[in-house]
Amino acid sequence: MKEFLDFLRKGKFRVPTCNNCNAKIWPPSNICKECFSREIRMSKLDPEGQLIEFSESFIDKNKNLGLVEISGIRVIGIINDGNVNQGSIVKLSKCGLDINNSPYYEFTPT
């Protein structure tokens, strides 16, 4: 979804939300999966989320990955501090597109 990526390129996390039924559309899409509406707005989320799953990387110690639930959606991101557990509250501290134009998200414990 172009709009989503445009925001992300600027370091902003905006989630497509249906104007008709208010469902969050995740992964981002141009059409609502609930009601098939194409009336979509980009909404700002609370940057705080909860760590659902956490795995320490054995390949690169600086790249611990976690699954984070943030305002009802789930994203996989880099956890900046290894001192976290399942259930820890983390905050989206950085996001954007990497050199391959793939989205990345970084979280820091609160």
CA distance 18 to 15: 10
Considering only 11-19, 48-56, 70-78, 79-87, which stretch makes contact with Zn ion by CB under 5 A?
A: 11-19
Quick one: 29 or 102, whose CB is closer to Zn ion? 29
Quick one: 34 or 53, whose CB is closer to Zn ion? 34
Q: Rg of the Cα trace of the chain?
A: 15
Q: How many residues does the chain have?
A: 110
CA triple 109-103-36, angle to 5 deg: 105
Considering only 7-15, 30-38, 48-56, 57-65, which stretch makes contact with Zn ion by CB under 5 A?
A: 30-38
Quick one: 22 or 86, whose CB is closer to Zn ion? 22
The label of the residue with tokens 């950085």 reads 94
Q: Which residues pair with 88 in a beta bridge?
A: none
> Footprint of Zn ion on this chain (CB under 5 A)?
18, 20-21, 23, 32, 34-35, 37
